[in-house]
Amino acid sequence: MRRPLGTIVLVLSASGYPLTQAAIRRWGVQGQVLVETVCAGLVIRDAAMIAAGAPRRLRRVPALLLWLELGAGAVATVSGLQTLSGASSADRSSVRQRTCESVRRAAVAILFSLHTIRFEIYLRPDRGRRAPAA
């Protein structure tokens, strides 16, 4: 990826959490569905990368970040689905609903933070890969 385009994607990734919150505030349940779709898409992409053997090709830290991103995305998706399923209920202020929302927010923030760090590593010349064996 060329550096100018990579920088734009990097800025969007770093802005991911505020953008998700803005989408939910602006569009309500439809915004929450959009956020869930994005989080689930990142989980699917990370799982596919892991299944394809990416951690074996990456240095230790980028490989660990990939696994952590998968975990954060899974938590964000599951907690978001829990929040979404209770969005139409009359008891939105329940302790369980507030807890799910807090977990969702934290997981989405962690997901986009990890994604941004990993993407910044990807933009480096070695793309976080291990050195070829001699």
Q: Is 53 left (phi over 0), alpha (psi -120 to 50) or beta?
A: left
Looking at domain 3-122, which of 1.10.1060, 3.40.50, 1.20.1050, 1.20.120 is its CATH number?
1.20.120
The pLDDT of residue 63 is 96
pLDDT digits (tens, 9 = 90+) for 35-94: 999 999 999 999 999 999 999 999 999 999 999 999 999 999 999 999 888 766 655 568
CA 80 from centroid of its chain's CA atoms: 12
The pLDDT of residue 134 is 58
DSSP 8-state code for residue 125? T
Residues 6+ apart with CB under 8 A from 49: 66
Q: Give the start-to-end residue ranges of the domains of the chain.
A: 3-122
